[in-house]
Structure 1
Amino acid sequence: MEESKRFPVLKAQGHTVTETTDLVVSEVPLTVYFNDEEIVTMLCSPAQLEELAIGFLLTEGFIKKQEELYSLRYAPEENLIWIEGKARPLQKELMSKRFLSACCGKSRASFYFANDARLVKPQNSSLQITLTEAYTYANHLQEHLPLFQATGGIHSGGIARNGEILLTSYDIGRHNVFDKLFGSAFRAGLDLENHVIFFSGRISSEILLKVAKMKVPILIARSAPTDLALNLARDLKITVIGFARGDRLNIYTFPERILID
Protein backbone atom coordinates (compact mmCIF):
# COMPACT_ATOMS: atom_id res chain seq x y z
CA MET A 1 0.00 0.00 0.00
CA GLU A 2 1.37 3.43 -0.96
CA GLU A 3 2.60 5.58 1.92
CA SER A 4 2.13 8.82 -0.03
CA LYS A 5 0.49 10.08 -3.21
CA ARG A 6 0.85 13.06 -5.53
CA PHE A 7 -1.99 15.56 -5.86
CA PRO A 8 -2.31 18.63 -8.09
CA VAL A 9 -1.93 21.91 -6.25
CA LEU A 10 -1.71 25.63 -6.90
CA LYS A 11 1.30 27.10 -5.12
CA ALA A 12 1.42 30.79 -4.37
CA GLN A 13 4.53 32.79 -3.57
CA GLY A 14 3.73 36.42 -3.15
CA HIS A 15 1.45 37.18 -6.11
CA THR A 16 2.87 34.45 -8.31
CA VAL A 17 0.74 31.29 -8.62
CA THR A 18 1.97 28.12 -10.34
CA GLU A 19 0.42 24.73 -11.08
CA THR A 20 2.37 21.76 -9.73
CA THR A 21 1.93 18.58 -7.69
CA ASP A 22 2.49 17.96 -4.00
CA LEU A 23 3.31 14.77 -2.13
CA VAL A 24 0.74 14.02 0.60
CA VAL A 25 0.64 11.18 3.14
CA SER A 26 -1.83 8.33 2.76
CA GLU A 27 -4.61 7.72 5.31
CA VAL A 28 -6.58 4.49 5.68
CA PRO A 29 -9.19 3.10 8.11
CA LEU A 30 -8.21 -0.04 10.03
CA THR A 31 -10.87 -2.07 11.86
CA VAL A 32 -9.76 -4.44 14.62
CA TYR A 33 -11.76 -7.42 15.88
CA PHE A 34 -10.92 -9.21 19.13
CA ASN A 35 -12.48 -12.65 19.57
CA ASP A 36 -14.88 -11.85 16.69
CA GLU A 37 -16.12 -8.64 18.32
CA GLU A 38 -15.45 -5.31 16.61
CA ILE A 39 -13.35 -3.23 18.99
CA VAL A 40 -12.22 -0.13 17.12
CA THR A 41 -11.72 1.51 13.74
CA MET A 42 -8.61 3.69 13.58
CA LEU A 43 -7.54 6.16 10.90
CA CYS A 44 -3.85 5.62 10.32
CA SER A 45 -0.88 5.49 7.96
CA PRO A 46 -0.68 2.24 5.96
CA ALA A 47 2.41 0.79 7.65
CA GLN A 48 2.96 -1.51 10.67
CA LEU A 49 -0.78 -2.15 10.83
CA GLU A 50 -0.50 -5.48 12.65
CA GLU A 51 1.74 -3.82 15.24
CA LEU A 52 -0.78 -0.98 15.54
CA ALA A 53 -3.61 -3.42 16.28
CA ILE A 54 -1.55 -5.33 18.84
CA GLY A 55 -0.35 -2.13 20.49
CA PHE A 56 -3.88 -0.78 20.79
CA LEU A 57 -5.09 -3.98 22.45
CA LEU A 58 -2.10 -3.85 24.81
CA THR A 59 -2.75 -0.26 25.88
CA GLU A 60 -6.44 -1.03 26.46
CA GLY A 61 -5.72 -4.17 28.49
CA PHE A 62 -7.13 -6.81 26.12
CA ILE A 63 -3.68 -8.45 25.94
CA LYS A 64 -1.06 -8.38 28.67
CA LYS A 65 1.39 -11.21 27.89
CA GLN A 66 2.68 -13.06 24.84
CA GLU A 67 0.75 -16.21 25.68
CA GLU A 68 -2.54 -14.28 25.74
CA LEU A 69 -2.39 -13.59 22.00
CA TYR A 70 -3.47 -16.76 20.21
CA SER A 71 -3.64 -15.72 16.55
CA LEU A 72 -3.73 -12.74 14.18
CA ARG A 73 -5.18 -12.54 10.68
CA TYR A 74 -4.87 -9.46 8.47
CA ALA A 75 -6.91 -8.82 5.30
CA PRO A 76 -5.03 -6.00 3.56
CA GLU A 77 -7.57 -5.61 0.76
CA GLU A 78 -10.26 -4.76 3.35
CA ASN A 79 -8.05 -3.24 6.08
CA LEU A 80 -9.43 -5.66 8.67
CA ILE A 81 -7.53 -7.45 11.43
CA TRP A 82 -8.91 -10.34 13.48
CA ILE A 83 -7.11 -11.21 16.71
CA GLU A 84 -7.92 -14.14 18.96
CA GLY A 85 -6.78 -13.99 22.54
CA LYS A 86 -7.60 -14.57 26.17
CA ALA A 87 -11.21 -13.60 26.83
CA ARG A 88 -11.66 -10.30 28.68
CA PRO A 89 -15.41 -9.63 28.53
CA LEU A 90 -15.40 -6.27 30.35
CA GLN A 91 -12.52 -4.53 28.57
CA LYS A 92 -14.56 -2.88 25.82
CA GLU A 93 -16.94 -1.40 28.38
CA LEU A 94 -14.02 -0.10 30.48
CA MET A 95 -12.47 1.64 27.46
CA SER A 96 -15.12 4.38 27.56
CA LYS A 97 -16.24 4.22 31.19
CA ARG A 98 -15.64 7.56 32.89
CA PHE A 99 -13.57 7.32 36.04
CA LEU A 100 -12.69 10.58 37.80
CA SER A 101 -10.32 10.03 40.69
CA ALA A 102 -7.03 11.36 41.96
CA CYS A 103 -3.98 9.87 40.27
CA CYS A 104 -2.19 7.37 42.51
CA GLY A 105 -4.09 8.69 45.51
CA LYS A 106 -2.84 12.27 45.09
CA SER A 107 -4.64 15.42 44.09
CA ARG A 108 -2.56 16.79 41.22
CA ALA A 109 -4.17 14.88 38.35
CA SER A 110 -7.06 12.58 37.56
CA PHE A 111 -7.69 9.55 35.41
CA TYR A 112 -10.65 9.94 33.10
CA PHE A 113 -11.22 6.33 32.11
CA ALA A 114 -11.36 3.16 34.16
CA ASN A 115 -8.81 1.36 31.98
CA ASP A 116 -6.21 4.06 32.63
CA ALA A 117 -6.63 3.74 36.39
CA ARG A 118 -6.29 -0.04 36.20
CA LEU A 119 -3.33 -0.31 33.82
CA VAL A 120 -0.77 2.22 35.04
CA LYS A 121 1.52 2.38 38.05
CA PRO A 122 4.52 4.53 39.07
CA GLN A 123 7.79 3.76 37.28
CA ASN A 124 10.54 3.09 39.82
CA SER A 125 13.25 2.48 37.22
CA SER A 126 16.82 3.46 38.12
CA LEU A 127 17.62 4.11 34.44
CA GLN A 128 19.88 7.08 33.72
CA ILE A 129 20.97 8.52 30.39
CA THR A 130 23.36 11.31 29.44
CA LEU A 131 22.43 14.61 27.85
CA THR A 132 24.31 13.49 24.74
CA GLU A 133 22.07 10.43 24.47
CA ALA A 134 18.96 12.58 24.83
CA TYR A 135 20.10 14.91 22.04
CA THR A 136 20.93 11.93 19.80
CA TYR A 137 17.49 10.36 20.22
CA ALA A 138 15.62 13.62 19.66
CA ASN A 139 17.53 14.48 16.50
CA HIS A 140 17.31 10.97 15.03
CA LEU A 141 13.74 11.49 13.83
CA GLN A 142 14.55 14.71 12.01
CA GLU A 143 17.58 13.18 10.33
CA HIS A 144 16.25 9.72 9.39
CA LEU A 145 12.65 10.13 8.26
CA PRO A 146 12.44 10.96 4.55
CA LEU A 147 8.63 10.67 4.47
CA PHE A 148 8.31 13.55 6.95
CA GLN A 149 10.82 15.60 5.02
CA ALA A 150 8.87 14.94 1.80
CA THR A 151 5.34 15.55 3.14
CA GLY A 152 5.50 17.25 6.57
CA GLY A 153 2.37 15.25 7.40
CA ILE A 154 3.28 12.60 9.97
CA HIS A 155 4.32 12.08 13.57
CA SER A 156 7.15 9.72 14.42
CA GLY A 157 8.76 8.04 17.40
CA GLY A 158 11.26 5.46 18.52
CA ILE A 159 12.51 3.24 21.31
CA ALA A 160 16.15 3.23 22.37
CA ARG A 161 18.52 1.87 24.98
CA ASN A 162 22.21 2.47 25.72
CA GLY A 163 22.53 4.82 22.77
CA GLU A 164 21.10 2.32 20.27
CA ILE A 165 17.92 2.96 18.27
CA LEU A 166 15.93 -0.28 18.50
CA LEU A 167 12.54 0.53 16.94
CA THR A 168 10.91 3.38 15.04
CA SER A 169 7.42 4.11 13.77
CA TYR A 170 5.44 6.86 12.08
CA ASP A 171 1.79 7.68 11.56
CA ILE A 172 -0.63 10.50 10.82
CA GLY A 173 -1.93 10.07 14.39
CA ARG A 174 0.15 10.75 17.50
CA HIS A 175 -1.50 7.95 19.48
CA ASN A 176 -0.93 5.45 16.67
CA VAL A 177 2.83 6.04 16.82
CA PHE A 178 2.92 4.76 20.40
CA ASP A 179 0.63 1.81 19.70
CA LYS A 180 2.84 0.78 16.76
CA LEU A 181 5.92 1.00 18.97
CA PHE A 182 4.21 -1.00 21.73
CA GLY A 183 3.08 -3.67 19.27
CA SER A 184 6.56 -3.89 17.72
CA ALA A 185 8.19 -4.22 21.13
CA PHE A 186 5.67 -6.89 22.13
CA ARG A 187 6.43 -8.92 19.01
CA ALA A 188 10.17 -8.54 19.62
CA GLY A 189 9.82 -9.65 23.25
CA LEU A 190 11.25 -6.38 24.60
CA ASP A 191 10.71 -5.46 28.25
CA LEU A 192 10.56 -1.65 28.08
CA GLU A 193 11.10 -0.85 31.76
CA ASN A 194 14.68 0.39 31.13
CA HIS A 195 14.19 1.96 27.72
CA VAL A 196 13.65 5.47 26.38
CA ILE A 197 10.88 6.65 24.06
CA PHE A 198 11.48 9.64 21.79
CA PHE A 199 8.71 11.39 19.90
CA SER A 200 8.25 14.17 17.35
CA GLY A 201 5.13 15.80 18.75
CA ARG A 202 3.38 17.36 21.73
CA ILE A 203 3.00 15.52 25.05
CA SER A 204 -0.64 15.44 26.13
CA SER A 205 -2.01 13.54 29.10
CA GLU A 206 -3.16 10.77 26.74
CA ILE A 207 0.36 10.37 25.35
CA LEU A 208 1.82 10.30 28.85
CA LEU A 209 -0.62 7.55 29.86
CA LYS A 210 0.38 5.45 26.84
CA VAL A 211 4.01 5.75 27.91
CA ALA A 212 3.06 4.71 31.45
CA LYS A 213 1.20 1.65 30.13
CA MET A 214 4.34 0.71 28.20
CA LYS A 215 6.29 0.99 31.52
CA VAL A 216 8.84 3.34 29.98
CA PRO A 217 10.54 5.70 32.49
CA ILE A 218 11.90 8.41 30.13
CA LEU A 219 10.01 10.29 27.39
CA ILE A 220 11.78 12.75 25.08
CA ALA A 221 9.74 14.96 22.75
CA ARG A 222 10.56 17.67 20.24
CA SER A 223 7.49 19.68 21.25
CA ALA A 224 5.75 20.91 24.40
CA PRO A 225 4.04 19.06 27.28
CA THR A 226 0.71 20.05 28.81
CA ASP A 227 0.25 20.77 32.51
CA LEU A 228 -1.93 17.68 33.00
CA ALA A 229 0.70 15.51 31.33
CA LEU A 230 3.35 16.84 33.71
CA ASN A 231 1.12 16.32 36.76
CA LEU A 232 0.58 12.73 35.68
CA ALA A 233 4.31 12.34 35.06
CA ARG A 234 5.07 13.46 38.62
CA ASP A 235 2.62 10.97 40.06
CA LEU A 236 3.76 8.15 37.76
CA LYS A 237 7.50 8.89 38.17
CA ILE A 238 8.18 9.41 34.47
CA THR A 239 10.96 11.73 33.30
CA VAL A 240 9.56 14.15 30.71
CA ILE A 241 11.82 16.08 28.36
CA GLY A 242 10.34 18.58 25.92
CA PHE A 243 11.51 21.00 23.22
CA ALA A 244 14.42 18.64 22.45
CA ARG A 245 15.93 20.10 19.30
CA GLY A 246 19.53 20.33 18.24
CA ASP A 247 21.51 20.83 21.44
CA ARG A 248 18.64 22.23 23.52
CA LEU A 249 15.97 20.61 25.70
CA ASN A 250 13.86 21.17 28.81
CA ILE A 251 13.77 18.59 31.63
CA TYR A 252 10.41 18.90 33.39
CA THR A 253 10.23 15.95 35.81
CA PHE A 254 12.65 13.60 37.57
CA PRO A 255 15.85 15.27 36.29
CA GLU A 256 17.98 12.83 38.32
CA ARG A 257 17.65 10.36 35.45
CA ILE A 258 19.59 12.72 33.14
CA LEU A 259 23.36 12.83 33.66
CA ILE A 260 25.10 16.07 32.74
CA ASP A 261 28.07 14.77 30.74
Structure 2
Amino acid sequence: MPNQTIAHSILKAKGTSLEWVEDTVVREVPLTVHYNREEIATLLCSPSQTEELTLGFLFNEGFIRVPEDVYEIRQDPSDHMIWVEGKPCVLQKELMSKRFVSACCGKSRASFCFANDALMVKPLTSTYSILLQEAYDYAKFLQSYLPLFQETGGVHSGGVGYKGNVILTSYDIGRHNVFDKLGGEAFRTKLNLENHVIFFSGRVSSEILLKVAKMKVPILIARGAPTDMALSQATALNITVVGFAREQRLNIYTCPERIIL
Protein backbone atom coordinates (compact mmCIF):
# COMPACT_ATOMS: atom_id res chain seq x y z
CA MET A 1 0.00 0.00 0.00
CA PRO A 2 1.36 3.47 -0.83
CA ASN A 3 2.40 5.70 2.03
CA GLN A 4 -0.64 7.53 3.39
CA THR A 5 1.32 10.33 5.07
CA ILE A 6 4.48 12.37 4.70
CA ALA A 7 6.63 14.23 7.22
CA HIS A 8 6.62 18.01 6.98
CA SER A 9 8.67 20.52 8.94
CA ILE A 10 6.48 23.14 10.62
CA LEU A 11 6.89 26.08 12.96
CA LYS A 12 4.72 25.30 15.99
CA ALA A 13 3.46 28.07 18.23
CA LYS A 14 2.44 27.56 21.86
CA GLY A 15 1.71 30.74 23.70
CA THR A 16 4.61 33.06 22.93
CA SER A 17 7.10 30.28 22.13
CA LEU A 18 7.97 29.04 18.63
CA GLU A 19 9.58 25.71 17.79
CA TRP A 20 10.46 23.88 14.58
CA VAL A 21 9.10 20.31 14.68
CA GLU A 22 8.33 17.43 12.32
CA ASP A 23 4.60 17.02 11.67
CA THR A 24 2.67 14.26 9.89
CA VAL A 25 0.58 15.38 6.90
CA VAL A 26 -1.95 13.25 5.01
CA ARG A 27 -1.19 12.65 1.33
CA GLU A 28 -3.47 13.80 -1.50
CA VAL A 29 -3.09 12.46 -5.05
CA PRO A 30 -4.92 13.06 -8.36
CA LEU A 31 -6.36 9.77 -9.66
CA THR A 32 -7.26 10.00 -13.36
CA VAL A 33 -9.98 7.52 -14.36
CA HIS A 34 -10.32 6.21 -17.93
CA TYR A 35 -13.25 4.14 -19.16
CA ASN A 36 -12.89 2.36 -22.50
CA ARG A 37 -9.83 4.50 -23.30
CA GLU A 38 -11.73 7.75 -22.65
CA GLU A 39 -10.67 10.02 -19.78
CA ILE A 40 -13.66 10.40 -17.47
CA ALA A 41 -12.51 12.37 -14.43
CA THR A 42 -9.63 13.14 -12.11
CA LEU A 43 -10.48 12.39 -8.50
CA LEU A 44 -8.51 14.03 -5.71
CA CYS A 45 -8.16 11.32 -3.10
CA SER A 46 -6.09 9.43 -0.56
CA PRO A 47 -3.82 6.83 -2.23
CA SER A 48 -5.66 3.79 -0.86
CA GLN A 49 -8.47 1.53 -2.17
CA THR A 50 -8.12 3.19 -5.57
CA GLU A 51 -9.74 0.30 -7.46
CA GLU A 52 -12.71 0.38 -5.09
CA LEU A 53 -12.91 4.16 -5.47
CA THR A 54 -12.91 3.85 -9.26
CA LEU A 55 -15.58 1.14 -9.35
CA GLY A 56 -17.80 3.01 -6.90
CA PHE A 57 -17.42 6.24 -8.87
CA LEU A 58 -18.25 4.56 -12.20
CA PHE A 59 -21.23 2.82 -10.62
CA ASN A 60 -22.60 6.00 -9.08
CA GLU A 61 -22.20 7.85 -12.38
CA GLY A 62 -24.04 5.15 -14.34
CA PHE A 63 -21.16 3.76 -16.41
CA ILE A 64 -21.48 0.27 -14.89
CA ARG A 65 -24.44 -1.45 -13.26
CA VAL A 66 -23.31 -5.02 -12.45
CA PRO A 67 -19.83 -6.56 -11.93
CA GLU A 68 -20.08 -8.31 -15.30
CA ASP A 69 -19.97 -4.87 -16.95
CA VAL A 70 -16.28 -4.64 -15.98
CA TYR A 71 -13.94 -6.59 -18.27
CA GLU A 72 -10.57 -5.40 -16.99
CA ILE A 73 -9.12 -2.89 -14.54
CA ARG A 74 -5.45 -1.88 -14.37
CA GLN A 75 -3.54 1.03 -12.94
CA ASP A 76 -0.17 2.73 -12.79
CA PRO A 77 0.35 3.78 -9.15
CA SER A 78 3.40 5.87 -10.04
CA ASP A 79 1.41 8.09 -12.44
CA HIS A 80 -1.90 7.82 -10.53
CA MET A 81 -3.71 6.55 -13.63
CA ILE A 82 -6.37 3.84 -13.75
CA TRP A 83 -7.97 2.25 -16.82
CA VAL A 84 -11.21 0.29 -16.90
CA GLU A 85 -12.40 -1.69 -19.90
CA GLY A 86 -16.06 -2.53 -19.77
CA LYS A 87 -19.45 -2.69 -21.37
CA PRO A 88 -20.03 0.22 -23.77
CA CYS A 89 -22.15 2.89 -22.10
CA VAL A 90 -24.34 5.50 -23.77
CA LEU A 91 -24.72 8.37 -21.30
CA GLN A 92 -27.42 11.01 -21.55
CA LYS A 93 -25.01 13.88 -22.03
CA GLU A 94 -27.67 16.55 -22.28
CA LEU A 95 -28.97 15.68 -18.82
CA MET A 96 -25.47 15.29 -17.43
CA SER A 97 -24.66 18.84 -18.49
CA LYS A 98 -27.43 20.24 -16.31
CA ARG A 99 -25.79 20.59 -12.95
CA PHE A 100 -26.00 22.44 -9.68
CA VAL A 101 -22.76 23.60 -8.07
CA SER A 102 -22.61 22.25 -4.54
CA ALA A 103 -21.14 23.67 -1.37
CA CYS A 104 -18.47 20.96 -1.53
CA CYS A 105 -15.10 21.87 -2.98
CA GLY A 106 -13.54 19.94 -5.81
CA LYS A 107 -13.42 19.76 -9.59
CA SER A 108 -14.39 16.13 -10.12
CA ARG A 109 -17.72 14.95 -11.47
CA ALA A 110 -18.70 13.98 -7.93
CA SER A 111 -18.89 17.57 -6.74
CA PHE A 112 -22.07 18.25 -8.70
CA CYS A 113 -25.67 17.11 -8.50
CA PHE A 114 -26.74 16.20 -12.04
CA ALA A 115 -30.26 15.94 -13.39
CA ASN A 116 -29.81 12.31 -14.45
CA ASP A 117 -29.18 11.33 -10.82
CA ALA A 118 -32.93 11.36 -10.42
CA LEU A 119 -33.21 8.64 -13.06
CA MET A 120 -30.97 6.30 -11.05
CA VAL A 121 -32.75 6.37 -7.68
CA LYS A 122 -36.14 5.21 -6.47
CA PRO A 123 -37.73 5.23 -3.00
CA LEU A 124 -36.42 2.34 -0.94
CA THR A 125 -38.81 -0.37 0.19
CA SER A 126 -36.58 -1.92 2.86
CA THR A 127 -38.17 -2.44 6.27
CA TYR A 128 -34.79 -3.18 7.87
CA SER A 129 -34.44 -1.81 11.39
CA ILE A 130 -31.73 -1.70 14.05
CA LEU A 131 -31.61 -1.31 17.80
CA LEU A 132 -30.76 2.11 19.15
CA GLN A 133 -27.73 0.60 20.90
CA GLU A 134 -26.46 -0.70 17.55
CA ALA A 135 -26.52 2.85 16.23
CA TYR A 136 -24.55 3.97 19.28
CA ASP A 137 -22.03 1.18 18.67
CA TYR A 138 -21.40 2.30 15.08
CA ALA A 139 -20.84 5.86 16.30
CA LYS A 140 -18.38 4.56 18.89
CA PHE A 141 -16.57 2.56 16.21
CA LEU A 142 -16.07 5.74 14.19
CA GLN A 143 -14.27 7.28 17.13
CA SER A 144 -11.91 4.30 17.44
CA TYR A 145 -11.46 3.70 13.70
CA LEU A 146 -9.69 6.98 13.08
CA PRO A 147 -5.96 6.23 13.45
CA LEU A 148 -5.08 8.28 10.37
CA PHE A 149 -7.30 11.14 11.53
CA GLN A 150 -5.72 11.06 14.96
CA GLU A 151 -2.30 11.16 13.30
CA THR A 152 -3.05 13.88 10.73
CA GLY A 153 -6.51 15.40 11.36
CA GLY A 154 -7.05 15.24 7.60
CA VAL A 155 -9.38 12.39 6.58
CA HIS A 156 -12.98 11.22 6.74
CA SER A 157 -13.88 7.62 7.52
CA GLY A 158 -16.88 5.38 7.08
CA GLY A 159 -18.11 1.83 7.14
CA VAL A 160 -20.90 -0.61 6.40
CA GLY A 161 -22.56 -2.52 9.22
CA TYR A 162 -24.91 -5.48 9.41
CA LYS A 163 -26.54 -6.79 12.59
CA GLY A 164 -24.01 -5.01 14.75
CA ASN A 165 -20.96 -6.19 12.80
CA VAL A 166 -18.68 -3.89 10.79
CA ILE A 167 -18.07 -5.58 7.44
CA LEU A 168 -16.54 -2.80 5.28
CA THR A 169 -14.45 0.27 6.12
CA SER A 170 -12.83 3.10 4.18
CA TYR A 171 -11.18 6.47 4.70
CA ASP A 172 -10.23 9.34 2.42
CA ILE A 173 -9.53 13.05 2.31
CA GLY A 174 -12.83 13.46 0.41
CA ARG A 175 -16.28 12.78 1.82
CA HIS A 176 -17.61 11.56 -1.52
CA ASN A 177 -14.65 9.23 -1.96
CA VAL A 178 -15.43 7.42 1.30
CA PHE A 179 -18.82 6.40 -0.11
CA ASP A 180 -17.44 5.50 -3.53
CA LYS A 181 -14.84 3.24 -1.90
CA LEU A 182 -17.49 1.49 0.19
CA GLY A 183 -19.79 1.19 -2.82
CA GLY A 184 -16.97 -0.06 -5.03
CA GLU A 185 -16.01 -2.81 -2.60
CA ALA A 186 -19.67 -3.88 -2.28
CA PHE A 187 -19.99 -3.80 -6.09
CA ARG A 188 -16.89 -5.94 -6.60
CA THR A 189 -17.91 -8.55 -4.03
CA LYS A 190 -21.57 -8.53 -5.12
CA LEU A 191 -22.70 -7.48 -1.65
CA ASN A 192 -26.35 -6.41 -1.58
CA LEU A 193 -26.61 -3.42 0.75
CA GLU A 194 -30.40 -3.19 0.93
CA ASN A 195 -30.45 -4.37 4.57
CA HIS A 196 -27.32 -2.67 5.83
CA VAL A 197 -26.22 0.50 7.58
CA ILE A 198 -23.68 3.07 6.44
CA PHE A 199 -21.94 5.14 9.11
CA PHE A 200 -19.81 8.14 8.37
CA SER A 201 -17.62 10.70 10.13
CA GLY A 202 -18.78 13.83 8.29
CA ARG A 203 -21.87 15.86 7.48
CA VAL A 204 -24.71 14.76 5.19
CA SER A 205 -25.22 16.85 2.06
CA SER A 206 -27.63 16.14 -0.79
CA GLU A 207 -24.81 14.56 -2.86
CA ILE A 208 -23.99 12.18 -0.02
CA LEU A 209 -27.63 11.26 0.36
CA LEU A 210 -27.89 10.48 -3.36
CA LYS A 211 -24.89 8.16 -3.15
CA VAL A 212 -26.56 6.29 -0.28
CA ALA A 213 -29.77 6.04 -2.32
CA LYS A 214 -27.90 4.64 -5.34
CA MET A 215 -26.32 2.03 -3.08
CA LYS A 216 -29.86 1.23 -1.77
CA VAL A 217 -28.79 1.55 1.87
CA PRO A 218 -31.81 2.30 4.11
CA ILE A 219 -29.99 3.74 7.16
CA LEU A 220 -27.28 6.41 7.25
CA ILE A 221 -25.59 7.33 10.53
CA ALA A 222 -23.32 10.39 10.57
CA ARG A 223 -21.30 12.24 13.18
CA GLY A 224 -22.05 15.54 11.47
CA ALA A 225 -25.17 17.51 10.58
CA PRO A 226 -27.49 17.01 7.59
CA THR A 227 -28.63 19.77 5.23
CA ASP A 228 -32.28 20.55 4.59
CA MET A 229 -32.02 19.36 0.97
CA ALA A 230 -30.53 16.06 2.10
CA LEU A 231 -33.42 15.57 4.52
CA SER A 232 -36.00 16.40 1.85
CA GLN A 233 -34.42 13.80 -0.41
CA ALA A 234 -34.23 11.28 2.43
CA THR A 235 -37.93 11.68 3.16
CA ALA A 236 -38.83 11.26 -0.51
CA LEU A 237 -36.54 8.24 -0.90
CA ASN A 238 -37.50 6.57 2.41
CA ILE A 239 -34.00 6.68 3.93
CA THR A 240 -33.36 6.99 7.65
CA VAL A 241 -30.88 9.76 8.43
CA VAL A 242 -29.20 9.92 11.83
CA GLY A 243 -26.92 12.85 12.64
CA PHE A 244 -24.70 14.08 15.49
CA ALA A 245 -24.10 10.44 16.48
CA ARG A 246 -21.67 10.34 19.41
CA GLU A 247 -21.61 7.16 21.53
CA GLN A 248 -24.76 7.58 23.65
CA ARG A 249 -26.51 10.42 21.84
CA LEU A 250 -27.81 11.07 18.35
CA ASN A 251 -30.57 12.79 16.37
CA ILE A 252 -32.98 10.85 14.15
CA TYR A 253 -34.16 13.16 11.35
CA THR A 254 -36.14 10.99 8.93
CA CYS A 255 -37.92 7.60 8.91
CA PRO A 256 -37.43 7.04 12.67
CA GLU A 257 -39.30 3.71 12.61
CA ARG A 258 -36.05 1.96 11.60
CA ILE A 259 -34.37 2.82 14.92
CA ILE A 260 -35.98 0.85 17.75
CA LEU A 261 -35.43 0.41 21.50
> TM-score, normalized by length of structure 1?
0.92
- Once residues 163 and 127 of structure 1 are traced to their aligned partners in structure 2, the CA distance between those partners, rounded to angstroms, is 13
Between the aligned partners of 1:95 and 1:43, the Cα distance in structure 2 is: 21
CA offsets, 1:147-166, max 9 Å, x none?
11111100010001001100
Name the SS of the counterpart of 2:212 in structure 1. Answer: helix
Cα deviation, residue 11, structure 1: 1.0
Residue of structure 1 equivalent to 2:58 = 57
What does 1:179-190 align with in structure 2 at a 5 Å threshold?
179-190=180-191
Match of 2:48 in 1: 47
1:104-143 Cα distance to aligned partner (Å, 9 max, x none): xxxxxxx952221111111110100001100111111211
Q: What SS class does the counterpart of residue 194 from structure 2 fall into? A: helix
Task: State the distance in 1 between where 2:73 and 2:94 align.
Answer: 22
User: Could you tell me which residue of structure 2 aligns to residue 251 of structure 1?
Assistant: 252
Deviation string, structure 1 residues 159-207 (Cα, Å, up to 9, x no partner): 0100110000000000000000000111121000100000000000010
* Aligned match of 2:28: 27
Structure 1 vs Structure 2: percent identity of aligned residues?
64
CA RMSD of the aligned region, Å?
Answer: 1.4
How many residue pairs match? The answer is 249
TM superposition score normalised by structure 2: 0.92
What's the CA shift for 1:69?
1.0
Q: CA deviation at 1:91?
A: 5.1
Q: Is the 8 A contact 1:39 1:92 kept in 2?
A: no
Q: Which residue of structure 1 lines up, in the alignment, with residue 88 of structure 2? A: 87
Partner of 1:113: 114
1:190-227 deviation digits (Å, cap 9, x = unpaired):
00010000000000001000100100000000010000
2:161 partner letter: A
Cα distance, 1:19–1:112 mapped onto 2, change above 3 Å: closer
Change in 2 beyond 3 A, CA 1:194/1:246 = same
Whole-Å Cα distance in 1 between the matches of residues 34 and 154 of structure 2? Answer: 28
Shift of 1:95: 3.6
Partner Cα separation in structure 1 for residue 96 and residue 26 of structure 2: 29
Q: State how far apart, in whole Å, the 2-side matches of 1:91 and 1:52 are.
A: 23
Are the equivalent residues in 2 in contact too, given 1:95–1:114 (CA < 8 A)?
yes
**Partners in 1 of 2:125 and 2:91 — Cα distance?**
29
Note the residue ranges of structure 2 that are not aligned, 5 or more in a row: 101-111
Partner amino acid for 1:114? A
Helix, strand or coil for the counterpart of 1:193?
Answer: coil
One-letter amino acid matched to 2:7: R
Take 2:34 and 2:236, find their aligned partners in 1: how far apart are those partners?
Answer: 34
